[in-house]
Amino acid sequence: MSQPAEAKVPIEPREQYRWARQDCPICELPPTKFLGKRGGAAHRTCLGVECDIWRCDRCGLVFPNPMPVPTSGLEQHYNLNADDYFQHHDRGAKTTNAHEFLAQAELLSGRKGRLLDIGSGRGELLRAAAEEGWEAIGIDSSPQFAKYAAEYSGATVIPKPVEECHFDDGMFDIVILAAVLEHLYTPDDTIREVARILRKGGALFVDVPNEAGLYFRAGNLYERIRGRNWVVNLAPTFPPYHLFGFTPRSLKALLAKHGLKPARWRVYGGQAMVPSTAGLIGKLEQTGARVITAMSEIGSFGTYIETWAIRS
């Protein structure tokens, strides 16, 4: 008589992650300020798994502690088609912006040389770089994204972290980390490696959300007013999977730690991150998000930071 098959027990969401103690990677100290909960029951649509979000009061970096590390690797987060993941990105606009961006890179570098695009996405920047006469290489830790970007751009795109690529010292004139640094589990290691492979006088471009911006401050205050210990910082276990939240102070500290000095610096409002909740509350949240984003264009409380930093 055959034995009945064992029933498969579904994996609980928290078991999909290894929960690792996380110190500040910049200061190498435990975080000191608990900000609130994010994800799961602490999300308006219950996305992801609940995390504790902390801040290092020494440099201002925001991150979950413990850190939820996917047990199945990065494919657990990024095993999807590039067009699906980047569905809200306008390809035409990204291509236009890429050509303008490369003009800035040439001014800073003084030439069209070697360019490394870390986090190549769909490959718009790589394609524009090839058209402009740059020797461009891409990196994307998602094999699906890397394959897509290589086919679209014609450039070599390596499906590995930059720390595993073993590039020569000072190999690149320009390195790009556009909307990437906040997704990395080891941002300190990545910037250390970037500084090594940049030539002296070479430039790194970084673009990250500003967790000290008005959008995040107002969002967290709104949650407190509603009596919830939630925060709107980061997205460690749901798209877009932001793991570390930078402020002007923490980003400058990370760059300085590895001999990179900002030559150009901009804090700006950018596109509103509008909640999609339905109903009257949802409409009010959407309106509030747009107003806050518009207001953040004034002063230094914008939602995003971008910088060109020169290797000394």
Q: Is the pLDDT assigned to residue 7 strictly greater than 50?
A: no
Short-list 179, 297, 294, 299, CA closest to 246: 179
CA–CA separation, 209 vs 247, rounded Å?
8
Q: Is the pLDDT assigned to residue 2 strictly greater than 50?
A: no
Q: In the prediction, which pLDDT does 13 show?
A: 87
Locus of tokens 């308006």:
44
Q: In the prediction, which pLDDT does 230 show?
A: 97
Q: In the prediction, which pLDDT does 301 show?
A: 80
Q: Is the pLDDT assigned to residue 6 strictly greater than 70?
A: no
Averaged pLDDT for residues 2-8: 45
Q: What DSSP element (H or E) covers 97? A: helix 91-109
Residue-wise over 70-109: b if at least 16 C-beta within 10 A, else e? Answer: beeebeebbeeebeebbeeeeeeebeeebeebbeebbebb
Domain annotation covers residue 173 = yes
- Residue 41 burial by CB count (10 A; 0-12/13-18/19+): exposed, middle or buried? exposed
Out of 150-159, 201-210, 265-274, least confident range: 265-274
Domain annotation covers residue 263 = yes
Q: Which residues pair with 158 in a beta bridge?
A: 139
Domain annotation covers residue 293 = yes
Domain annotation covers residue 133 = yes
Domain annotation covers residue 1 = no
pLDDT band at residue 3 using 50, 70 and 90 as cut-offs: very low
Six-digit token pair at 278?
Answer: 């339905």
Q: Is the pLDDT assigned to residue 146 strictly greater than 80?
A: yes
Q: In the prediction, which pLDDT does 109 show?
A: 87
Q: In the prediction, which pLDDT does 282 show?
A: 63
Domain annotation covers residue 8 = no
Q: Say whether pTM exceeds 0.85.
A: yes
Express each pLDDT in 150-169 by its tens digit.
Answer: 999 999 999 999 999 999 99
Q: In the prediction, which pLDDT does 5 show?
A: 45
Locus of tokens 């001014």:
107
Q: In the prediction, which pLDDT does 97 show?
A: 84
**Helix, strand or coil for residue 195?**
helix
What total of structural domains would you count in the chain?
1
Q: In the prediction, which pLDDT does 142 show?
A: 86
What CATH number does the domain containing 299 carry?
A: 3.40.50.150
Look at the alpha carbons of 8, 9, 10, 11 in this order and tell me if their dihedral is positive or negative: negative
Domain annotation covers residue 6 = no
Look at the alpha carbons of 21, 27, 30, 35 in this order and tell me if their dihedral is positive or negative: negative
Express each pLDDT in 221-260 by its tens digit.
Answer: 999 999 999 999 999 999 999 999 999 999 999 999 999 9
Q: Provide, rounded to the nearest whole percent, the portion of the chain with pLDDT above 70.
A: 82
Quickly count: other Cβ atoms within 10 Å of residue 193's Cβ: 21
Q: Calculate the alpha carbon distances from 187 to 183, 194, 259 in Å.
A: 9, 10, 15
Domain annotation covers residue 5 = no
Task: Provide the residue range defining the domain that includes 137.
Answer: 13-311
